[in-house]
Amino acid sequence: MYEYFKGKLIEKTPTYAVVECGGVAYLMHISLNTYSQIPDQEACLLYTHLAVREDAHVLYGFAGKAERETFRMLINVSGVGAGTARMILSSLTTNELAEAVMTNNVATIKRVKGVGEKTAQRIIIDLKGKFDGGGISPELFVGMHNTTRSEALTALTLLGFARNVSEKALEKVIKSNGSDLSVEEMIKLTLKSL
């Protein structure tokens, strides 16, 4: 229903943010990742998801579209509610969760408070294929908070190379040439070794 709220940041805590738009202040529940990305300036833009429950309408705010889309995918997993989804996104970045899903890493997801082994396995099964070009647009993951390495890895995956093979080749390139290469240089050097 609401795409985003752009306005004046009134209050920011690790669990919620209050943004004033047109004289109305909106309280939005946020993850720790969003909290760390919101600048301490007056101007603020948060992408939103409105959860309509029997007893309340709850707004969730996100610093980026990728996190919001991941939240929406998580709440569609059986047994994962909005609170658990927010806890997962507070403990793992969108990229870390995507990597855990694509590599079947149950242990990483299980580290999140309140997520057991069965729920972690269900998340992996339900989200399998949605991060590697199926559900979320990979361009959403490329942003200022990603490292050059992860951007290069995403590009190699989009070019059709297997993620685990690309990771190994990319690690070799970084070890031999240093991590201060540009994304393009990393990709070119890795492509030579694939």
Q: What is the pLDDT of residue 153?
A: 80
For residues 83 and 132, give the distance between their C-alpha atoms in angstroms, rounded to a whole number: 25
Residues linked to residue 7 through DSSP beta bridges, in sequence order: 44
Helix (H) or strand (E) holding 148: helix 148-158
User: Is a pLDDT exceeding 90 seen at residue 87?
Assistant: yes
Mean pLDDT of 130-143: 52
Which residues face 88 on adjacent strands?
none
Write the burial class of residue 58 (CB in 10 Å: 0-12 exposed, 13-18 middle, 19+ buried): middle
- Whether residue 56 is predicted with pLDDT greater than 60 in this model: the reply is yes
Local confidence band at 138 (pLDDT 50, 70, 90 cut-offs)? very low
Residue 132: band (very low, low, confident or very high) from pLDDT cuts 50, 70, 90: low
Structure tokens at 136: 């979320």
Cβ–Cβ under 8 Å, residues 149 and 179: yes
Whether the per-residue pLDDT at 140 is higher than 60: the answer is no
Looking at per-residue confidence, does 167 or 158 come out higher? 167
58 DSSP β-pair partners: 51
SS3 for 184? Answer: helix
Domains of the chain: 4-62 (2.40.50.140), 65-134 (1.10.150.20), 147-193 (1.10.8)
Summarised one tens digit per residue, pLDDT across range 152-161 is: 887 777 777 7
DSSP string spanning 36-103? Answer: HHS-SSSEEEEEEEEEE-SS-EEEEEESSHHHHHHHHHHHTSTT--HHHHHHHHHHS-HHHHHHHHHT
For the cut 80, the answer to whether the pLDDT of residue 45 exceeds it is yes
Distance, in Å, from the CA atom of 169 to the CA atom of 188, rounded to the nearest integer, reads 11
- 8 Å CB contact between 67 and 33: yes
Report whether pLDDT(2) > 50. Answer: yes
Is pLDDT of 136 > 70?
no
Given pLDDT bands bounded at 50, 70 and 90, which one contains residue 170?
Answer: confident
Please, which pLDDT band fits residue 10 given cuts at 50, 70 and 90?
A: very high
- pLDDT score for 192: 81
